[in-house]
């Protein structure tokens, strides 16, 4: 049977030794620590520890039984004790009748929770990584592995902060019951799934027996991202590398000629100049480095007007990072809390999914300073922030970023039109929607 559900320590004392003047001098015995006297507080503490250990052992042994009784069940048990005492000792017939009725209800509740459960429970999710808005579908399969029929029960599945309940009917031996459920994925999040517990309880709620059948798992709801075409990612494209002022003996970009020094590679001898000057001359090159993108994502709560702005910023960061990985370029993603893994698309998106807004008072300039010392070989630095970041903040951050890198700031303001500006040596793009990113990059490159 299959159904589908939507889930919304004392210092020693030195004794004074008196030696008669007419006696021979004796060597002094080494002082020994005085034994600390046990006071009444020590005795009480020892008794308290012993009582605590005894209570812990007793609770560990009786917990499987006492843990079944619900708070309402304890109230009914107390009522039964009072009713039996009043009915038997005081001979009140009314209370005796109440005692009998309550006792029958308790015995009936025991019948509902007794019995050994032999289920095989399987929790299966079609995909543990989905994108915001996609449908996350799961399956809960309960199978009776015993040789006798199982009474009806309820399976509870922890979904985030909520609990989803699935009624399981009476199952014959080898019988199965299947539930199909859907997890809402309206926002980026890491949603805990599980554990799955079976719950057997009486209709009055006096007793409740729970058993855990599965381990908790995680469902990642990744942020939305856009594939960026080659024409729109000129800031990421640098197939031949970035030319630097450093001089190298072997590279692509020619710099100058110099006299031959023993040990130089003969393949770099410039024979025409050698023939003209009569002295061996070798080529020198400007060192080129491969393009490396560094994305600094601000998670400061004060930088964003609302959570939607932060979600847009995470999506922009993810889109840039995925394009750099797709092009097999160097990537570093930094946030105030540390560094996000950028060596694989799945690990990048998983780490971005865990990000949350922070109330830390670290300034944007300090974040840029730390990032600059962390990623020293970046050719492009993209600073992704919210709409509350002022030009002064961007200018303070720009002067602390690498001077030889291309600096780009992306202000995320949902609903705004695409605009372009400049603060110091930093280009500033304002984005109102994720769909504006490719066109904005293309306009910036043009």
Instruction: Give the model confidence (pLDDT) of 418-439 as tens digits.
Output: 888 988 889 999 999 999 998 8
pLDDT of amino acid 178: 94
Task: Give kind and range of the element (H or E) at residue 119.
Answer: strand 119-125
Percent of the chain with pLDDT over 70: 80
What is the secondary structure of 30-95 as a DSSP string? PP-PPPPPP-HHHHHHHHHHHHHHHHHHHHHHHHHHHTTB-HHHHHHHHHHHHHHHHHHHS--HHH
Q: What's the whole-number mean pLDDT along residues 129-140?
A: 93
pLDDT of amino acid 19: 41
Tell whether the model's pLDDT for residue 380 goes beyond 90.
no
Q: How many whole angstroms separate alpha carbon 232 and alpha carbon 309?
A: 23
Is 98 or 67 the better-scoring residue by pLDDT? 98
Tell whether the model's pLDDT for residue 352 goes beyond 80.
yes
Tell whether the model's pLDDT for residue 442 goes beyond 60.
yes
pLDDT of amino acid 2: 61
pLDDT of amino acid 6: 67
pLDDT of amino acid 261: 86
Tell whether the model's pLDDT for residue 121 goes beyond 70.
yes
Does residue 420 sit in helix, strand or coil? strand
Least confident range of 26-30, 96-100, 165-169, 190-194: 26-30
pTM exceeding the 0.75 threshold for the entire prediction: no
pLDDT of amino acid 188: 95
DSSP β-ladder status, 330-335 and 292-297: parallel
Tell whether the model's pLDDT for residue 296 goes beyond 90.
yes
pLDDT of amino acid 288: 56
Quote the crossing angle between the two packed helices 391-398 and 364-374, to the nearest 10°: 20
Least confident range of 36-45, 100-109, 212-221: 36-45
Tell whether the model's pLDDT for residue 166 goes beyond 70.
yes
| Superfamily for domain range 292-445 | von Willebrand factor, type A domain (3.40.50.410)
Instruction: Name the percent of the chain in helix, strand, coil, to the closest 5.
Output: 30, 30, 35
pLDDT of amino acid 266: 78
Tell whether the model's pLDDT for residue 329 goes beyond 50.
yes
Instruction: Give the model confidence (pLDDT) of 254-280 as tens digits.
Output: 567 888 888 888 777 888 888 888 888
Q: How many whole angstroms separate alpha carbon 108 and alpha carbon 129?
A: 46
Q: What's the whole-number mean pLDDT along residues 343-351?
A: 93
End-to-end CA distance of the chain: 61
Domain extents for the chain?
A: 48-113, 119-222, 242-289, 292-445
The pLDDT confidence band at residue 23, using thresholds 50, 70 and 90, is very low
CA angle 404, 379, 341 (to 5 degrees): 135
pLDDT of amino acid 217: 92
**Maximum average pLDDT range among 12-16, 120-124, 327-331:** 120-124
Q: What average pLDDT is seen over the chain?
A: 82
Tell whether the model's pLDDT for residue 9 goes beyond 50.
no
pLDDT of amino acid 52: 77
Q: How many whole angstroms separate alpha carbon 238 and alpha carbon 180?
A: 49
Q: What's the whole-number mean pLDDT along residues 338-346?
A: 88
The pLDDT confidence band at residue 43, using thresholds 50, 70 and 90, is low
The pLDDT confidence band at residue 4, using thresholds 50, 70 and 90, is low
Q: What's the whole-number mean pLDDT along residues 269-296?
A: 79
Tell whether the model's pLDDT for residue 365 goes beyond 60.
yes
Instruction: Give the model confidence (pLDDT) of 391-416 as tens digits.
Output: 999 999 999 998 878 899 999 999 98
Which residues, including other chains, have CB under 8 Å from residue 40's CB and lie 6 or more apart? Answer: none
Q: What's the whole-number mean pLDDT along residues 209-236?
A: 79
Tell whether the model's pLDDT for residue 195 goes beyond 60.
yes
Class of domain 119-222: mainly beta
Q: What's the whole-number mean pLDDT along residues 99-118?
A: 87
């Amino acid at each position: 049977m299959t159904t589908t559900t939507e889930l919304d320590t004392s210092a020693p004392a030195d004794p004074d030794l008196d030696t008669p003047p007419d006696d021979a001098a004796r060597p002094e015995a080494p002082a020994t620590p005085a034994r600390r006297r046990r006071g009444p507080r020590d005795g009480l503490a020892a008794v308290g520890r012993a009582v605590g250990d005894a209570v812990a052992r007793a609770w560990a042994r009786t917990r499987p039984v006492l843990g079944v009784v619900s708070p309402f069940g304890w109230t009914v048990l107390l009522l039964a004790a009072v009713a039996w005492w009043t009915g038997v000792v005081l001979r009140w017939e009314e209370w005796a009748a109440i005692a009998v009725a309550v006792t029958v209800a308790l015995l009936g509740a025991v019948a509902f929770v007794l019995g050994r459960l032999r289920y095989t429970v399987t929790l299966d999710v079609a995909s543990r990584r989905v994108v915001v808005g996609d449908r996350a579908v799961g399956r809960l399969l309960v199978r009776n592995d015993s040789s006798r029929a199982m009474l009806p029960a309820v399976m509870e599945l922890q979904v985030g902060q909520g609990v989803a309940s699935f009624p399981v009917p009476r199952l014959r031996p080898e019988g199965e019951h299947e539930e199909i459920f859907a997890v809402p994925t309206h926002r980026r999040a890491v949603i805990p799934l599980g554990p799955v517990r079976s719950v057997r309880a009486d209709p009055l709620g006096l007793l409740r027996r729970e058993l855990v059948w599965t381990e908790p798992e995680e469902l990642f709801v990744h942020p939305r991202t856009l594939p960026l075409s080659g024409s729109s990612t000129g800031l990421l494209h640098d197939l031949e590398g970035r030319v630097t002022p450093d001089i190298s003996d072997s590279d692509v970009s020619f710099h100058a000629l110099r006299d031959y020094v023993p040990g130089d590679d003969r393949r770099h001898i410039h024979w025409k100049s050698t023939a003209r000057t009569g002295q061996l001359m070798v080529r020198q090159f400007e060192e080129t480095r491969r393009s490396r993108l560094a994305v600094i994502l601000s998670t400061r709560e004060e930088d964003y007007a609302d959570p939607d702005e932060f979600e847009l910023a995470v999506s922009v960061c993810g889109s840039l990072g995925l394009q750099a990985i797709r092009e097999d370029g160097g990537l570093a993603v930094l946030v105030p809390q540390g560094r996000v893994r950028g060596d694989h698309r799945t690990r990048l998106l998983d780490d971005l999914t865990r990000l949350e807004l922070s109330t830390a008072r670290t300034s944007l300039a300090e974040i840029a300073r730390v990032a600059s010392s962390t990623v020293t070989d970046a050719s492009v630095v993209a600073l992704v922030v919210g709409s509350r970041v002022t030009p002064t903040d961007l200018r303070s951050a720009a002067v602390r970023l690498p001077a030889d890198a291309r600096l780009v700031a992306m202000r995320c303001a949902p609903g705004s039109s695409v605009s372009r500006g400049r603060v110091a040596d930093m280009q500033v793009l304002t984005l109102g929607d994720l769909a504006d990113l490719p066109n904005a990059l293309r306009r910036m490159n043009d």
